[in-house]
Structure 1
Amino acid sequence: MPRGTVAVLATDATVDRGAIATALALTEADEAHLDIHCLGIESTPPDAFMAGPTLMLTMPDSEAARERARELETEIRPLIPAHRGNVQLHRHHIREGLIGHDVGRIARLADRIVAAAPYGHDARPLQVATLEAALFTGGLPVIVVPDGGAEIAARPARLMVAWDDSREAMVAVRAALPMLRRAGCVDVVIVDPEVQTGDRSDPGGDLALFLARNGARVEVSVLARSRFRVSEILRRHAFDTGAEAVVMGAYGHSRLREQLFGGTTREMLTDARVALILAR
């Protein structure tokens, strides 16, 4: 019996190829349904011009957006194995300026999203917009994978939880519980914890107990802040320990603050070397 729905919000067949491959592998292992949403997003052509005293503006091209959705479906369909009857492709026309609203409504009908890394060598504004729509408006977890995709076993050998005692981190842990229960080891990682009066003497102990009571096999790693950026410490630890994915809360600060000044979420997404399981 199929177990839930995984979705991919596709805007570019090349960029999203790794996400589609990962989603196909996950839904085959979990016997889940896979919905691939081909998004044709309106954009206003930058061809405003003066006609006498009047400024003429070209209106958003709705038909071009619909055609883009059809092209995406044509480009993506060959990536789906013929025997996979649990995969469906859907076309959507997304109105200009309403990506958050429209994509969020599509995303919320899935159990989790698989997405390409939104920051790469080239600008990926549509990937950023769809990821944020899934997290903020859709309100569901997103598995972000590197460009080549990621291998996440049905029973992962090792998963890592980036724990900072925040609400967002706890939401991510709860969202990932089914996968955490199946993992051979769940490594709760805390960087330079602040111990305040009344706190437990064992940082991460409360979360470790919560996970153990939910059937996970847990260890706790308390790391010193040996590097300037927390993201660098987390990436290095994930690589050194062979973690298949990192579970973490997304955008503990505002999106605007992270965009202007940086933040752990944005930095992890900028150089995504392993899968990131995000929620907020």
Structure 2
Amino acid sequence: MSHGTVAVLATEAKIDRGAIETALSMTETEGSHLDIYCLGIETTPPDSYFAGTAVLLSPPDREAAEQRAQDLAEALRPLIPSWRGNVALHPVMVPGGLISDQVGRLARYADRIVAAAPYGPEDRPLHVATLEAALFAGGIPVIVVPDGGAAMPERPERIAVAWDDSREAMVAIRAALPMLRRAALVEIVIVDPETRWGDRSDPGGALALYLARNGVTAEISVLNRSRPRVSEVLLRHLRDNGAEALVMGGYGHSRLREALFGGTTREMLEAAALPLILAR
């Protein structure tokens, strides 16, 4: 019996291999379908030349983008066991400038996306773009795994939730409820709660009650901001306590602000060595 759809939005075989292997393991355990979209994203060549007073630009490389999608599908095909009838490869050409619309539309018909880390030793602009498209235009949760993939056990021992009393965090928690119910323990992690919170005397208490009413075993950890960045406090705590995954809201600030000045979402995506379950 099928249990929904997981998707991977692949743009480069080497970087996306870990995400695909994680998704293959997840869907085998859950009995869900896996769609792997092999994206050939159209780009405009950077060359141009003058013809009188006009500047002529080279047209977008549509045929090259279609070929990249086909080549990517062929490169990824060996990763799929021949007996896995619930996995499909889809070469998709994405017109230049329409990544958000096109990728968001693909993501919308999945229940979850598994994605490679968008930041690494090399620039990964397409991975950043597809992650943002899935979150903002697709509106579905994304499981971001570190390079090389990650184990996603059916019944995890310990999952952490980064709680900041935001709408984005609550969306992520609701999206992750099936996994949270299966976990032996869910830790609500709060870093330096602000005085504006309604439950200042009992930070996280209302969320713990919500989770308990949804069949989740939860405990609360309130951490002092002992380091300059919230992400540093979170990462150290997660490492010390053996969390298997972290659920958090994605991009509480604008994408532009996060790109220019950084933010907790970006910092966690750059440094986390465990799966991040994001939604917004």
Q: TM > 0.5 between the two?
A: yes
| SS, match of residue 83 in structure 2 | coil
1:127-142 matched pairs, under 5 angstroms: 127-142=127-142
Does structure 1 retain, via aligned residues, the 8 Å contact 2:211–2:218? yes
Cα shift at 1:198: 5.1
Quote the Cα distance in structure 2 between the aligned partners of 1:17 and 1:277.
18
Alignment of 1:116 with 2:116, yes or no, is yes
Match of 2:163 in 1: 163
Quote the Cα distance in structure 2 between the aligned partners of 1:107 and 1:76.
19
Runs of 4+ in 1 over 2 A off after TM superposition: 50-54, 195-200
Q: Which amino acid aligns with 2:44?
A: T
Match of 2:264 in 1: 264
Match of 1:192 in 2: 192
Cα shift at 1:199: 2.8
Q: Mind listing any 5+ residue stretches in structure 2 that lack a counterpart?
A: none
Cα shift at 1:52: 4.3
Does structure 2 retain, via aligned residues, the 8 Å contact 1:115–1:143? yes
Alignment of 1:30 with 2:1, yes or no, is no
Cα shift at 1:53: 3.8
For residues 47-100 of structure 1, what are the alpha-carbon distances to aligned partners after superposition, in whole Å with 9 as ceiling and x for unaligned?
112244432210001100000000000000001111111100011110000000
| SS, match of residue 135 in structure 2 | helix
Does structure 2 retain, via aligned residues, the 8 Å contact 1:192–1:223? yes
Alignment of 1:48 with 2:60, yes or no, is no
For residues 193-246 of structure 1, what are the alpha-carbon distances to aligned partners after superposition, in whole Å with 9 as ceiling and x for unaligned?
123485352110110111111111111100000000000111111111111110
Cα shift at 1:260: 1.0
Q: Aligned pair in 2 of structure 1 residues 61, 162: CA closer, same or farther (>3 Å)?
A: same
Does structure 1 retain, via aligned residues, the 8 Å contact 2:165–2:197? no
Quote the Cα distance in structure 1 between the aligned partners of 2:56 and 2:193.
57
Q: Aligned pair in 2 of structure 1 residues 80, 194: CA closer, same or farther (>3 Å)?
A: same
Does structure 2 retain, via aligned residues, the 8 Å contact 1:117–1:272? no
Alignment of 1:276 with 2:276, yes or no, is yes
Q: Which amino acid aligns with 1:277?
A: I
Q: Which amino acid aligns with 2:58?
A: T
Match of 1:214 in 2: 214
Cα shift at 1:5: 0.1
| SS, match of residue 14 in structure 1 | helix
| SS, match of residue 172 in structure 2 | helix
Q: Aligned pair in 2 of structure 1 residues 200, 97: CA closer, same or farther (>3 Å)?
A: same
Q: Which amino acid aligns with 1:122?
A: E
Does structure 1 retain, via aligned residues, the 8 Å contact 2:11–2:126? yes
Quote the Cα distance in structure 1 between the aligned partners of 2:124 and 2:81.
27
Q: Aligned pair in 2 of structure 1 residues 255, 60: CA closer, same or farther (>3 Å)?
A: same
Quote the Cα distance in structure 1 between the aligned partners of 2:95 and 2:78.
27
Quote the Cα distance in structure 2 between the aligned partners of 1:241 and 1:24.
27
Match of 1:74 in 2: 74
For residues 105-124 of structure 1, what are the alpha-carbon distances to aligned partners after superposition, in whole Å with 9 as ceiling and x for unaligned?
00100000000000111110
Pick which of 188-197 and 97-106 moved more. Answer: 188-197
Question: Percent identity at matched positions?
Answer: 69
Match of 1:18 in 2: 18
| SS, match of residue 15 in structure 2 | coil
Q: Mind listing any 5+ residue stretches in structure 1 that lack a counterpart?
A: none
Does structure 2 retain, via aligned residues, the 8 Å contact 1:156–1:182? yes
Q: Which amino acid aligns with 2:64?
A: A
Quote the Cα distance in structure 2 between the aligned partners of 1:36 and 1:197.
41
Match of 1:59 in 2: 59
Quote the Cα distance in structure 2 between the aligned partners of 1:219 and 1:233.
18
Match of 1:255 in 2: 255
Q: Which amino acid aligns with 2:265?
A: T
Q: Aligned pair in 2 of structure 1 residues 213, 65: CA closer, same or farther (>3 Å)?
A: same
